[in-house]
Copies of this chain bind each other. A is one copy, B any other.
Amino acid sequence: MEYTLEEIAQLLGGEIKGNKKLKVSTLAKIQEASPGSIAFLSNPKYENFIYSTDASAVIVNKDFKPKEDVKASLILVDDPYTSFTLLLEAYQRSLTMNKKGKEEPCFVGQDSRIGEGYYIGAFAYIGHNVTIGKNVKIYPQVYIGDNVTIGDNTVLYSGVKIYSDCVIGHHTTIHSGCVVGSDGFGFAPQPDGSYKTIPQVGNVIIGNHVDIGANTVIDCATMGSTIIEDGVKLDNLIQIAHNVQLGQNTVIAAQTGVSGSTKIGKNCMIAGQVGIVGHISLANKTTVGAQAGIGRSVTEEGTVWLGSPGMDKSDFLKSFVVYRKLPELQKRIEELEEKIVHLQR
């Protein structure tokens, strides 16, 4: 897609200094920009880049006074950073939300209702009795099982799989390869050493304004619901087990796993590759560092945990500092032992 500076200036309420008819097709950082792109200058630290940038246009503060010649056309605004963010959002929206209509072949089951403004990509599968809101974008090869409900303005990228009976809110985005509603991992040991599968008949309920990364898996509840509350942000390749509950605005980085029936509070920040055992709860605003292993409930709000097994941050750091010096400590103990022998003589 291409836009003229005129169109962009109008969107941003800015003023053009240069060629109004100039077209740009992409956004870039000022220090990496190539011709055909638009960049911005906000932090004065980066000012010298504006004299050498290959960007076709740069968004600058309306008070900006160049000290040298500037090759690029300029768009003058009140707050270049905010304006650029607006532009980024408009650009991304134009990429995902302008997809419209139905590509054939796709499959839509009986008694399914789909709101206006939809995109249904080729080879997408929508089961029976599915309810889909307005402006929902269903990319190619998505699978939506029977009885699923999806809110307005939600985007499911190519290859997302939603098992039957799940509920997904509005303004939620789910990336490729993500699986929602697969069976929880429950097996009853039998006397002969084999396992009997415990049926998993619950569902997953995902709130509004949730973002879920590629190839993340959220299992359905054994009974009842696995719950992802509003505003939760999940990165890629995360494992959310059956009957887990993730509180509002909690953020989890890639490759972390949350075991069955654990409840994580609101506004928590969980780093990558963390493991959290089942049947515990973490208080609101808990922070967990990368690769930590959390084996017990955290009841106090706002604490920070590191290490595996997980320890309070300051305890962990104190222990780890000594861990690094262990060979030296061992030596000091040996020296003490020798000295004691001398003294005992």
Interface residues of chain A, those whose CB is within 8 Å of chain B, are 26-29, 32, 85, 88-89, 91-92, 95, 103, 105, 107, 121-123, 125, 139-141, 143, 145, 157-159, 161, 163-164, 173, 175-177, 179, 182-183, 185, 187, 193-195, 197-201, 209, 211, 213-215, 217, 219, 223-224, 231, 233, 235-237, 239, 241, 248-249, 251, 253-255, 257, 259, 266-267, 272-273, 275, 277, 290-291, 293, 295, 308-309, 311, 315, 318-327, 329-330, 332-333, 336-337, 339-340, 343-344
Is B257 a contact of A257 with CB atoms below 8 Å?
no
- A29 and chain B: residue at smallest CB distance: B223
Is B308 a contact of A319 with CB atoms below 8 Å?
no
Cα(A224)–Cα(B231), bound, Å: 27
Instruction: Give the Cβ gap from A208 to chain B, nearest Cβ, in Å.
Output: 11
CB contacts (< 8 Å) of A143 on chain B: these are: 139-141, 158-159, 176
What is the total number of copies of this protein in its complex? 3
Q: A29-B224, A217-B215, A239-B237 are in contact. Are A107 and B122 (CB under 8 A)?
A: yes
Instruction: Pick from B125, B324, B332: contact of A315, CB below 8 A.
Output: B324
Is B318 a contact of A329 with CB atoms below 8 Å?
no
Is A185 a contact of B253 with CB atoms below 8 Å?
yes
CB contacts (< 8 Å) of A291 on chain B: these are: 275, 291, 293, 308
CB contacts (< 8 Å) of A199 on chain B: these are: 85, 88-89, 91-92
Is B332 a contact of A185 with CB atoms below 8 Å?
no
CB contacts (< 8 Å) of A318 on chain B: these are: 326-327
Q: Report 10 cross-chain contacts, Cβ distance below 8 Å, ordered by A residue.
A: A32-B224, A85-B198, A141-B159, A143-B159, A176-B182, A182-B214, A185-B233, A193-B248, A217-B237, A325-B330
Instruction: Give the Cβ gap from A238 to chain B, nearest Cβ, in Å.
Output: 8
- A336 and chain B: residue at smallest CB distance: B336
Is B272 a contact of A195 with CB atoms below 8 Å?
no
Cα(A219)–Cα(B177), bound, Å: 13
Cα(A195)–Cα(B233), bound, Å: 8
New A-B contacts (13) at CB < 8 Å, excluding given A125-B141, A185-B254, A237-B239:
A85-B198, A89-B199, A92-B201, A173-B197, A183-B213, A185-B213, A194-B231, A214-B219, A217-B236, A217-B237, A219-B236, A273-B273, A291-B291
